[in-house]
């Protein structure tokens, strides 16, 4: 799953390193943190495709992290814990977890579950995803954009923002959802920064940035990519 980013939140540093090495050997990019405080700091700055979350952390529970995460993000969450009683498993799912893996578990089972969630959320590996509007073609898989057949240079955040709009083409996207998806679930980036990035995208992709027909503002909500024009 090349390019997919996973955050491991677990205070067992040795186990985290083993899991990280295994996932990286299968093409994942992995970030490790060992406390809730570290997790919140990382999630302010970065976004991930999946989170592997322990329940027993030194400064909070994984349930608390997931509950806060679900206020702003739909990123897949896999609980991994030695707490295996039924009530804990039910609680994990009720607050927004997507899977619950009891410790100890095999690396093979973990990999199978991670792969399944990634496929469910983002599609199959190797499946090229492109979106076209007007004379603009966005290759989400290859992270490239052309307009009129010529390549358009975008910054990392500009492309991430455009990809988020493309993945939800035709849907009104709240500002809070875009900020969470692009900058991180607990990002402190202001909506004004989002507005600036939208303006830059329009300047590069719209024929008339002052009168956009594709990257539209949705009054009092956010933005939307219209692809049927």
Q: Does domain 5-122 have CATH number 3.20.20.140?
A: no
Q: What is the pLDDT of residue 104?
A: 86
Tell me which of 3.20.20.10, 1.10.10.10, 2.40.50.140, 1.10.110.30 is the CATH number of domain 130-225.
1.10.10.10
Q: What number is the average pLDDT over the span 69-79?
A: 87
Express as a percent the part of the chain with pLDDT over 70.
Answer: 96
Question: In whole numbers, what is the pLDDT of the chain averaged over residues?
Answer: 89
Q: Give the pLDDT band of residue 2 (cuts 50, 70, 90).
A: low
Domains 5-122 and 130-225 share a fold: no
Per-domain boundaries in the chain: 5-122, 130-225
Q: How many CB atoms sit inside 10 A of residue 45's CB?
A: 12
> pTM for this one?
0.68
Q: Give the pLDDT band of residue 131 (cuts 50, 70, 90).
A: very high
Q: What is the pLDDT of residue 155?
A: 86
């Amino acid at each position: 799953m090349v390019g997919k980013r996973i955050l491991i939140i677990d205070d067992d540093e040795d186990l985290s390193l083993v899991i990280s090495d295994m996932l990286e050997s299968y093409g994942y990019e992995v970030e490790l943190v060992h406390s809730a405080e570290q997790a919140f700091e990382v999630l302010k700055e970065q976004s991930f495709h999946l989170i592997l979350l322990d329940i027993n952390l030194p400064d909070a529970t994984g349930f608390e992290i997931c509950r806060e995460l679900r206020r702003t993000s739909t990123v897949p969450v896999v609980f991994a814990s030695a707490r295996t009683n039924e009530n804990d498993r039910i609680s994990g799912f009720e607050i927004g977890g997507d899977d619950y893996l009891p410790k100890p578990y095999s690396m093979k089972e973990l990999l199978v579950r991670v792969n399944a969630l990634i496929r469910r959320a983002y599609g199959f590996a190797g499946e090229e995803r492109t979106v076209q509007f007007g004379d603009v073609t966005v290759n989400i898989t290859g992270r490239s954009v052309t307009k009129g057949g010529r390549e358009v240079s975008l910054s990392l955040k500009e492309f991430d923002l455009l990809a988020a709009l493309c993945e939800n083409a035709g849907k009104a996207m709240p500002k809070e959802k875009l900020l969470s998806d692009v900058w991180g679930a607990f990002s402190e980036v202001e909506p004004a920064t989002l507005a600036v990035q939208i303006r830059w995208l329009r300047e590069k992709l719209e024929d008339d940035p002052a009168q956009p027909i594709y990257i539209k503002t949705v009054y009092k909500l956010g933005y939307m990519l219209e692809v049927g024009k």
